[in-house]
Amino acid sequence: MPVATVGDAATASIDVTTDAIDAYASLTGDHNPIHLDEAYASETMFEGRVAHGMLGMGVVSAALASLPGDIVYLDQDCSFEAPVRPGDTLEARAEVLEVLGGDRVRVETTAVVDGDAVIRGEARVMSLPHDG
C-alpha cells in the first residue's frame, strides 16, 4: 500500500531570476536564445526572456517530492499554458487523485504564477515507505 493517499497535497515554489535561468541553461546545455538573450527574445512572440519549461517542471518535481513517503517519478503528462518570466514566483502543487494499486498513485500537478496556471498535468509516482 502506498504512503501517499487520496487528498494528500504538497507545494513548492521558486523565485524565477535571470540567474536561475542562466544556471539552468548551464546545467542542461539548453542555450536557446529565447531563454538567454533579452534582445533576441524581445523580438519573439514572448516579447522578452522566458524560463525554460522544464525549470518549471523542476518545481513540480519538488512538490511531488514533498508528498508523504519516498516518491519515485514514473511519468508525467503536462501542458505549458503560459510563459514564466524573470521576476515571477512560480508555485507548484501536487495532489494525489487516485491510488492505482500497490505503491503507485496518480497525482494532479499544477504550477501557477499570480494565481494563473502556467503548467497543468498529471503524474504517476511510486509512494514508498520512508526508510530512515
pLDDT in the model for residue 132: 64
pLDDT digits (tens, 9 = 90+) for 7-27: 999 999 999 999 999 999 999
42 occurs within a structural domain: no
Mean pLDDT, the chain, as a whole number? Answer: 96
Q: How far apart are the first and last CA of the chain?
A: 18
- Number of structural domains, the chain? 1
pLDDT in the model for residue 126: 96
29 occurs within a structural domain: no
Q: At what angle do helices 53-65 and 18-28 cross, to 10 degrees?
A: 90
Which DSSP helix (H) or strand (E) runs through 123? strand 116-128
Query: Containing domain of residue 103, as a range?
Result: 9-16+52-128
59 occurs within a structural domain: yes
Assess contact for 85 and 94: CB atoms under 8 A.
no
27 occurs within a structural domain: no
104 occurs within a structural domain: yes
Distance separating alpha carbons of residues 132 and 129, to the nearest angstrom: 9
- The percentage of the chain sitting over the pLDDT mark of 90, rounded to a whole number, equals 95
Question: Where does the pLDDT of residue 130 fall: very low under 50, low under 70, confident under 90, or very high at 90 and above?
Answer: confident
pLDDT digits (tens, 9 = 90+) for 39-80: 999 999 999 999 999 999 999 999 999 999 999 999 999 999
pLDDT in the model for residue 86: 98
Distance separating alpha carbons of residues 1 and 99, to the nearest angstrom: 9
The conformation of residue 96, written as its DSSP 8-state character, comes to E
70 occurs within a structural domain: yes
pLDDT at 2 over 80: no
| Mean pLDDT along residues 84-111 | 97
* Cell numbers linked to 91: 508555485
The domain that holds 117 is classified in CATH as 3.10.129.10
2 occurs within a structural domain: no
pLDDT in the model for residue 47: 97
